[in-house]
Chains A and B, each alone.
Chain A
Amino acid sequence: AQSVTQLDSHVSVSEGTPVLLRCNYSSSYSPSLFWYVQHPNKGLQLLLKYTSAATLVKGINGFEAEFKKSETSFHLTKPSAHMSDAAEYFCVVSPYNFNKFYFGSGTKLNVKP
């Protein structure tokens, strides 16, 4: 069975401080994993993806994530938050070789000045 758990529904950080958004997954097959960002009244924009290559994945806007199979985690990080990072973030898992996607419940990131 496949599932995704985003451990925090809300995260609040100050501008310039690190960001950590947590994601744990459950997958019967070697998964592909993705992080998306959604700004209000917008679609989802791909931040980064893991598809069985390097376990540390770098994405756009300074974000990166590390695939840890032993911990079944794919946490999203950024060294220094910017006001424009305030948005909703979704972790998505897809079983290997299957075009089926499972969404986490989302984490709303608030960035304080």
Chain B
Amino acid sequence: GAVVSQHPSWVICKSGTSVKIECRSLDFQATTMFWYRQFPKQSLMLMATSNEGSKATYEQGVEKDKFLINHASLTLSTLTVTSAHPEDSSFYICSALRGNEVNQPQHFGDGTRLSIL
């Protein structure tokens, strides 16, 4: 299989705190990982592409200083929402590509429900 573990699955915190979300590929190496945000009843919105050992590539309109991405190993990428506010509340999903393959599917984590009070 190709298992991606995302942690935590649910987090509630106060406004102004920073929250870190982890995305791990458990049984394969992932050179590339993606971070998505999903609003209720909508499709996934790509936030950034995370490449191991290099800076993430952010999509237009996504604040890189707000959403810090670190991909320090071939099995782990983290997304940190800094100084979170209620408008950052959302469902965040990561995905990973196996190795350096192309034309292959993404493997998704189970998502993190973030609620900022």
Residues of A within 8 A of B (CB): 32, 34, 36, 41-46, 49, 51-52, 90, 92, 94, 96-99, 101, 103-106
Contacts and interface: CB of A to CB of B under 8 A. Distances in A.
B27 to A, nearest CB: 15
Interface of B: 4, 6, 32, 34, 42-44, 46, 91, 93, 95, 97, 102-111, 113
A46 B91 contact: no
A41 B113 contact: yes
A43 B104 contact: no
Contact of A45 (B46, B103, B108): B108
A contacts with B: majority SS: loop
B107 to A, nearest CB: 7
A49 B111 contact: no
Nearest to A102: B46
A32 B106 CA distance: 12
A105 B93 contact: no
